[in-house]
Structures are given as structure tokens and as C-alpha cells.
């Protein structure tokens, strides 16, 4: 895929209404015909045109609800007929693609667990060859931009020209409030390389809890992304999958209509504002990363403190500190950062580490 990959602009797919955000909404899983119709009706009522529902569900543990299978595709056809909505589902292999094409689905997406598997991506690309339905590719669960791009390349090589991406965050062992690490920097990098790819965020799987939907959707809009894929269920409390992160259609209407602030993305007159907002959003992301790195560093300091205490070793080893500071100054100044700034910053960090270790030393078990 070259940076000039030829794609059909999303405005010509005939799927979405503008201005931003383009919205795809619907339940995590299709569970029953009644649940699909009730949810779709609630969404259609306030102008959602693109409906999602998982038919085959990739679950972490065996024995969890694994989707209703192909019979759910008939329910999606009813949504097309009765509400005039476009419908889409997740495909993870050739058989899924065939079933979707046989049932006239309007679009498919590839889930995070599948994007990371080149065999499956090639199988799906081959099965889609010769069709012109749009395909959205979620990021792989690991923060591997090349793997994501590789999946897009396979589809592009198979002749898919209606391509888009969905950013749903990355698995992490770090202690973060969200279900998945937003890792916005990777999304920004992909966007910078392929600005023509329609870009959706999936705040539902990123946050894992409906309480984070607003802040994550807002961040996606501030970064200038075009769309949102959000999970919505007529009765989230009894959902068979992802119950905590789904919104009732009415709640989604409020989130989109009254809470999210969407700034004009392509105003000529507002060039300055737009650039400054983008830069500030980038800074916010970096600050979040800095905070989480600092927290991790302090956690390790605490563990060192405990270890020293167990072995009856003093907190401060000046030679270690001197060599650390020297190395940081050398490396940092080489990148163009000011020496005085680095000295102050690392002295403060060190001081806090010492304070934490001191705390550990004098805490009685």
C-alpha cells in the first residue's frame, strides 16, 4: 500500500450523514430478533443510519456466549428492510464472509483478534475479492502499527476500495482505568500516513465501561477522527456480552446530541483554531503517557525500597544516582533538551523516589 492508495472516499459510500461524527451503533451481540429490532428502532428514531451487531463473538473464555450465528443475519436483513438502515457485522474468516455476502450485508468489520493474524486476513481478503462492500479494520490487540497496515494492504491488494479503520485501543498489563490502552499516538501515526482512510474510534471497547464513553468520544473528535462505533443495547443490564459498556439508544442520543462538542473539522476560516486544537490534543495525550510512566517509575521505586529494607541497605547510593544523572544528561542533551531543565526534572523525580523509599523504610508491617 502506498501513501497514495486509491480509495473511494467515504462520502461516496452512501452510508453516513455529515457533518461529523459518522456513527455506527448497535449491540455488542445479536441476541434475539426482539432485541435487535427494539435496539435498531431506538437508534433509527434519532437518525442513526448504520447498525452494528456481532453475530459470531470472539470470547476470551470458552463457555461464554459465542453469538447466535448465521440465523442472526436474517434479523439484520429485517433491520435493513424496516428501518432502511445499513447493517454490518464482524467477520473472522472465509465462512463468515460468504454468509454475510449471501445475506446482503452492507459492510463488514474485522475484529482486533483477527487483524493480528495474517493468515486470516489473507483468507478474508481472498473471500472479499471481486465485491465492493466496505470493510473496516480494527487495530490488532497489540500496539503494532505494521500489523494493522499489513492487514489493510492485503485487503487493498484484493481490490477493496472502500476501506476504513477502527481504533479500539490495545491490550496492556499496565494498571489503567480503561479496558484497553487508547495508545492514541499509534492512531495519530496511522492517520498521518494515510489521511484518506476514514477513521473511527470505538470508545466502547477502549473504555470498557459506559462512564468513559464521553471522555473517549470527545478525545476522538478533538483529534479530528471522522467517526465513532459505539455499542448500544435496548436493555444493557441483561446484555449477554459487554453489558457494562453499552448504552441505551436514548442515552446515546444524549451523548451525541448534547454532550460531545464537535468542532468544525474542515473550516477554512478556522484554520488556526483547528491546528491549535489538534496540537493541544496531541499534548494532552503525551501528558497522559507521562503521568502513567511516572506512576510506574514510582511503583518500581517503592519495590526497590522494600527490597533494600529487607536486606538492610541504606536508601541512598550516591554513585548510582551520579551515574544515572550523568547518563540522562548526556542522552537528553543529545536530543536537544536543555541541560538545566533535565537536571531540575530528574532531581525532582529522584527526590520523590527517595521520599517514597523513606516512607517504606519507616512503615511498620
User: Residues with Cβ < 8 Å from 54, sequence gap 6 or more?
Assistant: 27, 28, 29, 30, 67, 89, 90, 241
Closest CA to 35 of 84, 66, 70, 68: 68
Q: How far is the CB of 133 from Mn ion (least distance, A)?
A: 21
Block residue for cell numbers 467477520 = 91
* Per-residue contact string for residues 187-226; x = within reach of Mn ion by CB under 5 A: ----------------------------------------
Distance CA 146, CA 193 (A): 12
SS3 7: coil
Which of 42, 54, 203, 249 is the binder for ligand PEP (CB under 6 A)?
A: 54
- Is 167 a residue that touches ligand PEP (CB under 6 A)? no
User: Residues with Cβ < 8 Å from 337, sequence gap 6 or more?
Assistant: none
- Is 116 a residue that touches ligand PEP (CB under 6 A)? no
Q: How far is the CB of 79 from Mn ion (least distance, A)?
A: 18
| Among 92-100, 111-119, 125-133, 185-193, the segment contacting ligand PEP (CB under 6 A) | 111-119
- Is 28 a residue that touches Mn ion (CB under 5 A)? yes
Indicate the residue among 236 and 305 with the shorter CB distance to ligand PEP: 236
Q: How far is the CB of 351 from ligand PEP (least distance, A)?
A: 42
Site for ligand PEP in 9-48 (CB under 6 A): 28
Q: Residue 85 in contact with residue 49, Cβ under 8 Å? A: yes
- Is 138 a residue that touches ligand PEP (CB under 6 A)? yes
DSSP run (H or E) holding 167: strand 163-167
- Is 31 a residue that touches Mn ion (CB under 5 A)? no
User: Residues with Cβ < 8 Å from 105, sequence gap 6 or more?
Assistant: 73, 76, 87, 88, 89, 133
Distance CA 313, CA 292 (A): 28
Which of 55, 112, 136, 223 is the binder for ligand PEP (CB under 6 A)?
A: 112
Closest CA to 50 of 40, 61, 59: 40
- Is 210 a residue that touches ligand PEP (CB under 6 A)? no
Site for Mn ion in 228-287 (CB under 5 A): 242
- Is 168 a residue that touches ligand PEP (CB under 6 A)? yes
* Residues at the interface with Mn ion (CB under 5 A): 28, 242
* Residues at the interface with ligand PEP (CB under 6 A): 28, 54, 58, 90, 111-113, 138, 168, 202, 205
Amino acid at each position: 500500500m502506498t501513501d497514495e492508495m486509491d480509495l473511494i472516499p467515504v462520502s461516496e459510500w452512501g452510508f453516513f450523514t455529515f457533518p461529523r461524527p459518522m456513527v455506527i451503533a448497535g449491540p455488542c451481540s445479536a441476541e434475539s430478533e426482539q432485541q435487535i429490532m427494539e435496539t435498531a428502532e431506538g437508534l433509527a428514531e434519532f437518525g442513526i443510519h448504520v447498525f452494528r451487531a456481532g453475530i459470531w463473538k470472539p470470547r476470551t473464555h470458552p463457555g461464554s456466549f459465542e453469538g447466535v450465528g448465521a440465523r442472526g443475519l436474517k434479523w439484520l436483513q429485517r433491520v435493513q428492510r424496516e428501518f432502511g438502515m445499513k447493517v454490518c457485522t464482524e467477520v473472522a474468516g472465509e465462512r463468515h464472509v460468504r454468509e454475510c455476502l449471501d445475506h446482503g450485508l452492507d459492510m463488514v468489520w474485522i475484529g482486533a483478534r483477527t487483524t493480528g493474524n495474517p493468515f486470516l486476513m489473507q483468507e478474508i481478503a481472498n473471500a472479499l475479492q471481486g465485491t465492493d462492500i466496505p470493510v473496516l479494520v480494527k487495530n490488532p490487540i497489540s500496539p503494532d502499527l505494521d500489523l494493522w497496515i499489513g492487514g489493510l494492504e492485503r485487503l487493498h491488494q484484493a481490490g477493496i476500495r472502500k476501506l476504513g479503520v477502527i481504533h479500539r485501543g490495545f491490550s496492556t498489563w499496565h494498571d489503567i482505568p480503561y479496558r484497553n490502552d487508547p495508545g492514541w499516538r499509534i492512531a495519530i501515526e496511522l492517520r498521518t500516513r494515510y489521511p484518506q482512510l476514514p477513521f473511527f474510534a470505538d470508545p466502547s471497547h477502549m473504555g470498557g465501561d459506559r462512564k468513559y464513553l464521553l471522555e473517549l468520544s470527545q478525545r476522538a473528535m478533538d483529534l479530528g477522527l471522522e467517526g465513532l462505533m459505539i455499542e448500544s443495547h435496548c436493555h444493557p443490564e441483561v446484555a449477554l456480552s459487554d453489558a457494562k459498556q453499552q448504552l441505551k439508544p436514548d442515552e446515546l442520543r444524549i451523548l451525541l446530541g448534547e454532550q460531545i462538542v464537535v468542532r468544525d473539522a474542515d473550516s477554512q476560516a478556522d484554520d488556526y483554531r483547528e491546528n491549535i486544537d489538534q496540537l493541544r490534543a496531541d499534548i494532552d495525550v503525551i501528558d497522559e503517557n507521562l503521568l502513567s510512566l511516572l506512576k510506574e517509575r514510582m511503583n518500581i521505586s517503592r519495590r526497590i525500597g522494600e527490597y533494600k529494607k529487607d536486606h538492610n541497605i541504606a536508601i541512598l547510593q550516591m554513585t548510582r544516582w551520579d551515574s544515572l544523572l550523568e547518563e540522562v544528561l548526556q542522552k537528553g542533551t543529545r536530543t536537544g533538551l536543555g541541560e538545566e531543565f533535565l537536571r531540575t526534572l530528574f532531581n525532582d523525580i529522584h527526590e520523590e523516589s527517595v521520599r517514597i523509599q523513606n516512607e517504606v523504610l519507616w512503615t511498620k508491617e
